Amino acid sequence: MKKRKKKSNFQIEASSFRDPSGYLFYEKGTLYRQVNKVYKSDYLLLKSSGLYDQLTREKLLVRHDEVNCRGSLETNAFKVIKPELIDFISYPYEWSFSELKDAALTTLRINQIALEHGMSLKDSSVYNIQFLRGKPIMIDTFSFEKYQENKPWVAYRQFCQHFLAPLALMAFTDIRLKNLLRVYIDGIPLDLAAKLLPKITYINLGIFTHIKLHARFQQKYAGNTQTSKTIGKNMNRAGMLGLIDNLMSIIENMTWKYASDDSEWGDYYNKTNYTNKAFDHKKNVISSWIKKIQPKNVWDLGANDGTFSRIASNMNISTVAFDIDQIAVEKNYLKTKKNKEQMILPLVIDLANPSPAIGWAHQERKSLIDRGPVDVVFALAFIHHLCISNNVPFANLVTFFASITKHLVIEFIPKSDSQLQKLLATRVDIYSQYSLDNFIEAFSKHFSLIQKIKISESDRVLLLFTKK
Amino acid sequence: MQVAIVFLLLMVISTRQAEAYIDPGTGSNVLQLILGGSLGTLFIMKRYWHSIIKLLTGKKSKDRNSEEKKKEE
């Protein structure tokens, strides 16, 4: 799809091909969206009804400007718009429970407001929601169509597959089932979700109706195209509002109950080998390096609760706080919400198996590496997990870091450290190469060592590298 | 009403494997049309109930829409 209209300085966004209403493209590195003539009336209604104004005012839809550029010369083009940019594109299989829940509620709220303006959502893809300045926001300006009285909500099936099914599976079965979204790009099939949900959900009327019964209806009416004739009914506006209100109530009442002991990190910072002085020293060193580099963006790999990510985000730097621990990321997100933090985005990711490129031609959803590089990566008390727990050699680590960052703030933990000894307790020590000297030598292949500082009252070492 | 519930329960209990080729849109639409009547009625009743509470107490009720509007203000 990338080559569909490729010309010099003009490239269509690979994921933008499903909706005939228009497409995203880059011109001289700037992102634009072409509004096709077929979407003209709905686009004009979006603007004239006041829906665009209300949604952008409430920060529920990205703003855009109408512009003139190459795309506007196309015969099927009605207009070209330049949308507000998202700092980091994230995907639902990287979100915590509450991030997905808030994204679902945002989608339903947008549809409520759209109905008040005589429009409705024509699709409810979870990929239409992104996080901007700490809040979920709709990025697809073409998701609205004129509301047609007596017609059912065309995006209901998609909403249940993209939002309700994964949330229900996370809340009632196992939080890790969110990863099914990585396998099923059009949401979790409802018959699969129905099978995986525990029997207790038979007495949960909302889940029973919108997932289990829904799955049964999908099977029963497969191939039948005469919807309303089949049962001789129409769906009025009250019915539509009732459906949305019902879905909102179900999702608002969903909670993910976890025991803090289930967290890999839980009480990590209280249990680790840092004295208060060591902890403050580590923070001060990182802070001084960030001030010196002045990056536009930071990825904190192995961020835990975001303690060190906030050194960057509090300096108004766009920061993504990755961690493998669902509970740590959930807590971090709830903290960002509570404190109304705008520059930090907590995400769940397993760096030993990061998000791959998925979808049509491997281009619809990007891999983690494809979404980089960034100015700075933090890898604090982290790489020993990759080296010891996953047997990743230093040479492979350095290649990975060189592909995602310009500057690297990294902490080396020696073998004598009790945290590392814990990792070695249950395995044979085959890591004879694991030493600070070998580490620096391996990283020197792609990076220049700028500074090396031993943390006070600790054997741990902080290093600042810059890519050669 | 009881007959309808029994019918719906029977449909779910007798779940079978989905066919390879399915048309997921139609079943979703039919379910919505069935649900639409009752959910629409409930929604209207809920709105009236919140209006009555507001009239009697002079306070804004727990109606989600009024809460959203309050947030906007």
Boundary-marking domain end, from A252, A273, A296: A252
Rounded alpha-carbon distances, angstroms, from residue A12 to A43, A139, A142: 21, 17, 16
Residues A124, A272, single domain; the answer is: no
Q: What is the tens place of the pLDDT at every residue in A200-253? A: 999 999 999 999 999 999 998 887 766 556 565 678 899 999 999 999 999 999
Q: Could B23 and A225 be called an inter-chain contact, meaning their C-beta atoms sit closer than 8 Å? A: yes
Instruction: Please report residues of B whose CB lies closer than 8 A to that of A215.
Output: 15, 18
Q: Binning pLDDT at 50, 70 and 90, where does residue B21 land? A: very low
Whether A398 maps to a domain, the answer reads yes
Q: Please report the number of interchain residue pairs, chain A to chain B, with beta-carbon separation below 8 angstroms.
A: 138
Q: Tokens 């990182």 correspond to what residue?
A: A286
Measured distance CA(A128)–CA(A137) in Å, rounded? 8
Taking a contact as any Cβ pair under 8 Å apart, which residues of chain B between 4 and 43 contact chain A? 8, 11-12, 15-19, 21-43
Whether A195 maps to a domain, the answer reads yes
What pLDDT is attached to residue B14? 45
Q: Total structural domains in chain A?
A: 3
Whether A61 maps to a domain, the answer reads yes
Q: Binning pLDDT at 50, 70 and 90, where does residue B16 land? A: very low
- At B42 the three-state DSSP class reads helix
Q: Report the gap between the CA of A160 and the closest CA in chain B (Å).
A: 10
Whether A3 maps to a domain, the answer reads no
Report which of A423, A420, A424, A422 is spatially closest to residue A436, judged by C-alpha positions. A420
For residue A381, report the phi and psi dihedrals to the nearest 5 degrees.
45, 50
Whether A257 maps to a domain, the answer reads no
- Residues 6 or more apart whose Cβ sits within 8 Å of residue A120: A111, A114, A144, A145, A147, A153, A154, A240
Indicate the domain borders of chain B. Answer: 42-73
How much is the average pLDDT of B21-28? Answer: 63
pLDDT of A73 higher than 90 = no
How much is the average pLDDT of A59-68? Answer: 95
The CA radius of gyration of chain A, in Å to the nearest whole number, is: 24
Interface test with A, best of B8, B14, B32 (most A CBs within 10 A): B32
CATH of residue A214: 1.10.510
Boundary-marking domain end, from A198, A221, A252: A252
Whether A332 maps to a domain, the answer reads yes
Q: What is the tens place of the pLDDT at every residue in A246-277? A: 999 999 999 998 876 666 665 565 556 678 88
Measured distance CA(A21)–CA(A46) in Å, rounded? 13
- A30 bridge partner residues: A27
pLDDT of A293 higher than 60 = yes
Measured distance CA(A95)–CA(A329) in Å, rounded? 8
| pTM for the model | 0.89
Whether A2 maps to a domain, the answer reads no
Structure tokens at A117: 């303006």
Residues A179, A279, single domain; the answer is: no
- At A333 the three-state DSSP class reads helix
Measured distance CA(A167)–CA(A161) in Å, rounded? 10
Measured distance CA(A93)–CA(A166) in Å, rounded? 10
Residues A40, A170, single domain; the answer is: no
Q: What is the tens place of the pLDDT at every residue in A348-404? A: 999 999 999 999 999 999 999 999 999 999 999 888 888 888 889 999 999 999 999
Q: Could A219 and B16 be called an inter-chain contact, meaning their C-beta atoms sit closer than 8 Å? A: yes
- Residues 6 or more apart whose Cβ sits within 8 Å of residue A361: A1, A2, A14
Interface test with A, best of B5, B21, B30, B45 (most A CBs within 10 A): B30
Domain that holds residue A138: 92-252
Determine contact, residues A146/A114, Cβ cutoff 8 Å.
no
Residues A355, A286, single domain; the answer is: yes
Whether A441 maps to a domain, the answer reads yes
For residue B27, report the phi and psi dihedrals to the nearest 5 degrees.
-60, -40
- Residue A114, judged by CB atoms within 10 A of its CB (0-12, 13-18, 19+), counts as buried
Q: Tokens 């792609």 correspond to what residue?
A: A446
Amino acid in the structure at residue A287: S
Return the number of other C-beta atoms located less than 10 Å from residue A359's C-beta.
Answer: 14
Q: Which of A141-145, A264-268, B54-58 has the highest mean pLDDT?
A: A141-145
What pLDDT is attached to residue A256? 94
What pLDDT is attached to residue B23? 43
User: Would residue A457 be called left, alpha or beta, if left means φ above 0 and alpha means ψ between -120 and 50 degrees?
Assistant: left
Sign for the pseudo-dihedral over CA of A368, A372, A378, A379: positive
- Residue A63, judged by CB atoms within 10 A of its CB (0-12, 13-18, 19+), counts as middle
What pLDDT is attached to residue A1? 35
Report which of A218, A95, A447 is spatially closest to residue B29, judged by C-alpha positions. A218
What pLDDT is attached to residue B1? 42
How much is the average pLDDT of A409-415? Answer: 92
DSSP state of A150: B
DSSP secondary structure letters along A7-54: BTTEEE-TT--S-TTEEEEEETTEEEEEEEGGGHHHHHHHHHTSHHHH
User: Would residue A414 be called left, alpha or beta, if left means φ above 0 and alpha means ψ between -120 and 50 degrees?
Assistant: beta
